């Protein structure tokens, strides 16, 4: 037998089942071969599957796999992993720390004034810069040329793995239909499409990553490590509420700390199933 381990499916950034973003959780004594973890993630075919190894009480090594590759950072699967560990008493106390490709990540369980339980993740804030290369801009605009609606691209920003496309309004984000075949050819991991909100939150977004087997990610935590600093500066506020406008949808509560260059990402989660992998 190659792998025998507890597994779970958890909906992250969800206050009710079957919303937010599903993540697979696999708790192992030690990481199996990369090819096996990748095969498991491909088999599950959720946006991300997280593998966890306990290092010390309340301290775990976490690795994230999309259906096609290992991810450098994943917010929703980290939230899902913390929820699973808290719910099934794998950690003691109100916080859990993860060692990851993105450094040390801490998730804290908090209760608000209404008695609701929230998980708050401490993640790095990631800066983006204007995309000024004419060929890149033209390629990104071409991704939206097949849309039947007019998309008004206000600006395009980027870092080493992600493009952020800022549109004129929330309705354009909701209705846009990027050409995924063209998007797969861009030199990036994914595209986040965003705009200021006009409906009860600060900004909205959607996230497309067909390059790694995710046509549209229901709720992406890691993209908000970029979106939070951008919208904090644009709106002149460090505390933000964001909504991802996928079919499943999800809400994220964000708090930027410029002094430490970190962003707090708060959300809820629901366990959908648990079991044991035996392959």
CB 191 within 8 A of CB 212: no
Query: Residues with Cβ < 8 Å from 138, sequence gap 6 or more?
Result: none
CB atoms within 10 A of CB 38: 17
Is 170 catalytic? The answer is no
Residue 107 tokens read as 């998730």
Residue count (the chain)? 279
183 three-state secondary structure: helix
Name residue, tokens 């309705």: 171
d(Cα 152, Cα 180) in Å, to the nearest integer? 19
> Biggest alpha carbon distance in the chain?
55
CB 197 within 8 A of CB 203: yes
Catalytic entry in 30, 43, 48, 216: 48
Please spell the DSSP secondary structure of 51-65, one letter per residue.
Answer: EEEEEETTEEEEEEE
Query: Residues with Cβ < 8 Å from 260, sequence gap 6 or more?
Result: none
CB 102 within 8 A of CB 73: yes
Cα distances from 179 to residues 67, 146, 151, in angstroms, run 20, 7, 13
Q: Which residues are catalytic?
A: 48
């Amino acid at each position: 037998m190659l792998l025998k381990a507890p597994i779970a499916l958890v909906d992250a950034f969800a206050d009710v089942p079957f919303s937010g973003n599903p993540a697979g959780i696999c708790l192992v004594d030690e990481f199996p071969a990369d090819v096996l973890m990748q095969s498991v993630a491909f088999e599950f075919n959720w946006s991300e599957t997280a593998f966890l190894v306990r290092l010390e009480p309340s301290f775990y090594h976490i690795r994230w796999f999309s259906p096609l590759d290992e991810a450098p950072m994943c917010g929703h699967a980290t939230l899902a992993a913390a929820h699973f560990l808290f719910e099934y008493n794998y950690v003691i106390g109100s916080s859990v720390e993860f060692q990851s490709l993105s450094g040390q990540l801490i998730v804290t369980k908090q209760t608000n004034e209404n008695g609701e339980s929230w998980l708050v993740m401490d993640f790095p804030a990631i800066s983006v810069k204007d995309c000024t290369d004419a060929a890149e801009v033209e390629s990104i605009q071409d991704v939206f040329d097949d849309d039947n609606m007019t998309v008004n691209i206000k600006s395009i920003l980027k870092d080493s793995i992600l493009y952020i496309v800022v549109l004129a309004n929330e309705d354009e984000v909701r209705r846009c239909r990027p050409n995924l075949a063209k998007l797969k050819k861009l030199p990036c991991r994914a595209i986040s499409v965003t705009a200021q909100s006009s409906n009860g939150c600060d900004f909205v977004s959607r996230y497309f990553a067909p390059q790694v087997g995710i046509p549209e990610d229901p709720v992406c935590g890691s993209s908000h490590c970029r979106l939070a600093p951008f919208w904090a500066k644009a709106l002149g506020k460090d505390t933000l509420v964001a909504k991802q406008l996928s079919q499943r949808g999800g809400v994220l509560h964000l708090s930027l700390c410029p002094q430490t260059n970190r962003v707090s990402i708060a959300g809820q989660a629901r366990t959908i199933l648990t079991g044991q992998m035996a392959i």
